[in-house]
């Protein structure tokens, strides 16, 4: 005490307590942060520290080969190199983009876009920026490693389709796995830059074709130079896939389709093996291996001719007069007619107060069932349609496999449409009108099929009502002949009556005569589907625009003990007998020659 006055130190004590609390809280936060970093996040930081001296090098597995039925290789692998960027080793990514672009003669913006796509992934992951490096580019990168520690060269087994566009829609293509697919684990342990099957056989059998990657853990210095290997795991190559395709028939089908839009299906009627499955226009799956720019991809998918579309199993068409085979069988099965039942064709008929025309304006005269199929007489089948009704027609169409998936071993197949009253009420909220049945009776109206469905239906007829499963993979121990349990439940005698008309159509100057092959007893049916209404066609015709119908043919051979079915559609090809049938004839002829020589 001085001069009797006590000094009040309570403010100092309050400030001290506050300071102690702040320091204590900060210390506690520091302890919690260190605990989180060392206990909860130890694995993350351990990997980052290890990445400073240990680099994981993925050893990609060789993708399995794809072969045709005779062992010819259709898809293989070739040695290639790719350039990748490791962001962790870059001091300034913007500067890296500019310098790497100059070194590899690339656009810096393209490199930036590829790296930014995987921005959320760890910085020590290599991000592929360029594929298929040539020897000069590899040497250029390797000789300047000190200048570009962030740029590395990776070996890769590059997929190669040996015959470019050959069977492209069957084989499919590969495409880079997306960041979202990596995060979701869609493809297991696949990582940045990996390519996966997107369509065709490549997609269907991805898990078997891909194999399992190996890895090397390498010790590297600060510039990325290799010092030692601490762990090595060898890759396991993928399994080879052998297809049912016969390259000779496939090549012929593609040759005959070239320059047209359409599809061809050649099927072994005994077991459902697809010997050819062609669609045109087509594409080169090799172009998918070297990554597209966004503009290149948009140009491809927006192409008005749709080259990526597999018309054989995704093309939806009205079947036209081919559907008369369904009508004939339905009428026979329901005892509505016999093969001797006849109707008179004068070239047109009035039904429900509406005129319906035959394709042959002069009329066919008196027609029984066999000759109605042979001459494809519309009037005869209009009469059947009126008597059968839409529900019975739909029932037999579905028995023959229309309006449903064939379950071929390729993704993306369309089911088509077989309409009935319930469908129209559900989809269009309207009743079914009797006049609509008349159009369906000749394969028009809201009736849609795929070429593959028609080929499968044709094989069912060839087997007298026994269904086969269309497939592309050649499995060991396949049964060569279909089994009775696959029967669709119709009379083989009635199918024989329909086949008689098909045989007459091809061999007795019928509409399918252009498909005839000497000594092979082809049975066939043509079709021509109206693409637009007659009034619209006349209007377009005045302006000289293309108004031709789609051209169909389907058939099998030989008549007894059938071995092959051929279905052809040529879009805007005109009459089936003049366009599609000659294409089928060449394929029947080649099949016959191959049978004689194999």
Tens of pLDDT, residue by residue over 70-124, are 999 999 999 888 899 988 888 899 999 999 999 998 999 989 988 888 888 878 7
| Pair (234, 259) in one structural domain | no
Q: What is the pLDDT of residue 1?
A: 44
pLDDT grade for 126, boundaries at 50, 70 and 90 = confident
Whether residue 348 sits in one domain with residue 199: no
Residue 502 lies in a domain: yes
Check residue 535 and give its pLDDT. Answer: 45
Cα 137 to Cα 141: distance, rounded to the nearest angstrom: 6
Rounded to the nearest integer, the mean pLDDT of the chain is 88
Statement to judge: residues 273 and 214 lie in one domain? no
Comparing CA positions, the residue from 241, 187, 179, 182 lying closest to residue 212 is 187
Band (542; pLDDT cuts 50, 70, 90) = very low
Same domain assignment for residues 395 and 425: yes
Give the three-class secondary structure for 254.
Answer: helix
The pLDDT, as a whole number, for residue 476 is 66
**Structure confidence at residue 168 (pLDDT):** 97
Strand locations in 317-452 (E): 343-345, 348-351, 354-357, 365-367
Question: Distances in Å between the alpha carbon of 229 and those of 43, 214, 253?
Answer: 22, 14, 53
CATH number for the domain that contains residue 388: 3.40.710.10
Asked if residue 342 and residue 363 are part of one domain, the reply reads yes
Distance CA 15, CA 409 (A): 79
Residue 160 has pLDDT above 90, yes or no: yes
For residue 402, what pLDDT is reported?
A: 98
Print burial letters for 256-265: b (CB count within 10 Å at least 16), e (below 16). Answer: bbeebbbbbb
**CA-CA distance, 148 to 56, in Å (whole number)?**
19
24-33, 279-288, 528-537: which range is least confident on average?
528-537
State the average pLDDT over residues 274-296.
Answer: 87
- Residue 21: inside a domain: no
Total of domains in the chain:
2
| Residue 52, token pair as written in the block | 């400073």
Same domain, 151 and 279: no
Q: Which of 242, 267, 291 is the last residue of a domain?
A: 242
Q: Which of 13-22, 168-177, 414-423 has the lowest mean pLDDT?
A: 13-22
- Cα–Cα distance measured from residue 276 to residue 266, given in angstroms and rounded to the nearest whole number: 5
Domain assignment of residue 73, yes or no: yes
Shared domain check, 354 and 339 = yes
CATH number at residue 186: 3.90.1310.10
Judge if 494 and 511 occupy the same domain: yes
Within 10 Å of residue 162's Cβ, how many Cβ atoms? 13
- CB contact at 8 A, 176 and 194: yes
Domain assignment of residue 218, given as a range: 54-242
Better-predicted residue by pLDDT, 59 or 332 = 332
Among the candidates 193, 224, 242, a domain finishes at: 242
Q: For residue 120, what pLDDT is reported?
A: 82
Within-domain flag for 104: yes
**pLDDT confidence of residue 534:** 47
Instruction: Give the confidence band of 544 by pLDDT, cuts at 50, 70, 90.
Output: very low
Do 497 and 586 fall into the same domain?
A: yes
**DSSP secondary structure letter of residue 549:** P
Q: Does the pLDDT at position 485 exceed 50?
A: no
Question: Mind listing the pLDDT tens digit for each residue in 46-80?
Answer: 655 555 566 666 777 899 999 999 999 999 999 88
Asked whether 574 and 514 are in contact (CB, 8 A), the reply is no
- Is 15 part of any domain? no
| 165 shares its domain with 276 | no
Domain assignment present for residue 80? The answer is yes
Residues 209 and 274 in one domain: no
Q: What is the pLDDT of residue 124?
A: 77
Tell me the pLDDT band of 461, cut-offs 50, 70 and 90.
Answer: very high
Burial 431-452 (b: 16+ CB within 10 A, else e): ebeeebbbbbbbbbbbbbbbbb
């Amino acid at each position: 005490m001085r001069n009797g006055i006590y000094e009040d130190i309570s403010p100092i004590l309050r400030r001290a307590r506050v300071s102690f609390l702040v320091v204590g809280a900060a210390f506690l936060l520091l302890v919690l942060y260190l605990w989180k970093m060392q206990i909860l996040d130890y694995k993350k930081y351990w990997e980052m520290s290890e990445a400073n001296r240990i680099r994981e090098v993925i050893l990609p597995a060789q993708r399995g080969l794809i072969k045709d039925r005779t062992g010819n290789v259709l898809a293989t692998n070739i040695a290639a190199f790719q350039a990748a960027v490791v962001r962790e080793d870059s001091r300034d990514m913007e500067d890296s983009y500019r310098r790497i672009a100059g070194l590899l003669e690339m656009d810096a913006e393209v490199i930036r876009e590829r790296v930014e796509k995987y921005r959320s992934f760890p910085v020590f992951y290599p991000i592929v920026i360029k594929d298929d490096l040539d020897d000069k580019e590899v040497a250029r990168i390797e000789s300047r490693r000190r200048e570009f520690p962030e740029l590395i060269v990776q070996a890769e087994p590059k997929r190669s389709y040996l015959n470019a566009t050959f069977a492209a829609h069957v084989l499919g293509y590969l495409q880079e796995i997306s960041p979202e697919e990596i995060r979701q684990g869609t493809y297991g342990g696949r990582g940045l830059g990996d390519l996966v099957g997107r369509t065709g056989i490549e997609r269907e059998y991805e898990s078997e074709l891909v194999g399992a990657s190996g890895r090397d853990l390498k010790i590297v210095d600060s510039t990325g130079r290799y010092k030692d290997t601490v762990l090595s795991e060898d890759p396991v190559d993928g399994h080879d896939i052998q297809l049912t395709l016969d390259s000779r028939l496939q090549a012929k089908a593609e040759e005959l389709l070239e320059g047209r839009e359409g599809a061809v299906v050649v099927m072994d009627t005994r077991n459902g093996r697809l010997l050819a499955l062609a669609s045109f226009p087509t594409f080169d799956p090799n172009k998918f291996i070297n990554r597209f720019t966004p503009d290149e991809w948009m140009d491809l998918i927006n192409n008005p001719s749709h080259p990526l579309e597999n018309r054989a199993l995704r093309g939806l068409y009205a079947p036209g007069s081919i559907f008369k085979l369904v009508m004939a069988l339905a009428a026979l099965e329901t005892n509505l007619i016999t093969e001797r039942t006849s109707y008179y064709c004068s070239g047109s008929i009035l039904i429900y107060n509406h005129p319906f025309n035959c394709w042959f304006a002069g009329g066919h005269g008196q027609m029984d069932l066999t000759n109605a199929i042979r001459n494809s007489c519309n009037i005869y089948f209009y009469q059947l349609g009126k008597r059968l009704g839409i529900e019975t027609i739909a029932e037999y169409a579905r028995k023959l496999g229309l309006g449903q998936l064939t379950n071929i071993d390729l993704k993306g197949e369309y089911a088509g449409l077989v309409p009935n009253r319930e469908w129209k009420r559900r989809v269009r909220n309207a009743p079914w009108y009797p006049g609509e049945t008349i159009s369906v009776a000749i394969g028009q109206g809201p009736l849609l099929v795929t070429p593959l469905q028609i080929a499968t239906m044709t094989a069912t007829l060839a087997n007298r009502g026994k269904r086969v499963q269309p497939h592309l993979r050649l499995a060991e121990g396949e049964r060569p002949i279909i089994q009775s349990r696959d029967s669709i439940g119709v009379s083989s005698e009635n199918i024989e009556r329909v086949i008689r008309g098909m045989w007459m159509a091809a061999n007795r100057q019928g509409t399918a005569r252009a498909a005839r092959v000497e000594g092979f007893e082809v049975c066939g049916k043509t079709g021509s589907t109206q693409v637009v209404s007659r009034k619209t066609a006349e209007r377009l015709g005045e302006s000289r625009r293309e108004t031709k119908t789609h051209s169909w043919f389907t058939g099998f051979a030989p008549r007894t003990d059938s071995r092959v079915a051929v279905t052809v559609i040529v879009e805007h090809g005109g009459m089936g007998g003049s366009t599609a049938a000659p294409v089928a004839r060449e394929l029947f002829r080649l099949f016959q020659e191959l049978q004689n020589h194999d």
